[in-house]
Structure 1
Amino acid sequence: MIDPQLLKVLVCPVTKAPVTLSDDKKELICKASRLAYPIRDDIPVMLESEARKIGQDEYETLR
């Protein structure tokens, strides 16, 4: 589980925009860059090369 205080300070390394926890709590989502950063063993992997691109259909459900 991600510490709520940590979540408040984490930002997307690409856009510096805030990230939010996905509904399944397995990724951190950046709406600005449309990237989803994985969480492995309760550690967010905030590397652009590890991020998943969010498709248009999924992006529209995030709004």
Structure 2
Amino acid sequence: MDPKLLEMLVCPVTKQPLAYDAEKQELVSRAARLAYPIREGIPCLVREEAREID
């Protein structure tokens, strides 16, 4: 994940920054407790596509 791109992306629910999980290929919103998938290098920031995390 390009660090400059990551700096620009925010959670669509909370508008807070996202953390990159390289192992799971996800962008994580700790505030919303959601993980958004990255598919073929493209972040999918759609609430319905995210999975809930603990």
Query: What TM-score do the two structures reach when normalised by structure 2?
Result: 0.93
Residue by residue over 1:6-62, the C-alpha shift from the partner in whole angstroms, topping out at 9 and shown as x without a partner, is: 00010000000000101415000000000000000000000000000002xxxxxxx
Q: Give yes or no for the alignment of 1:47 onto 2:36.
A: no
Read off the aligned partner of 2:27 and give its amino acid letter: L
Match of 2:23 in 1: 24
Read off the aligned partner of 1:11 and give its amino acid letter: V
- Secondary structure of the residue aligned to 1:12 is coil
Read off the aligned partner of 2:51 and give its amino acid letter: R
Match of 1:6 in 2: 5
Which structure features the higher share of strand residues?
2
Residue ranges of structure 2 left out of the alignment (5+ in a row): none
Larger radius of gyration: 1
Query: What TM-score do the two structures reach when normalised by structure 1?
Result: 0.81
**Count, aligned residues:** 54
> After TM superposition, where is structure 1 displaced by more than 2 Å over at least 4 residues in a row?
none
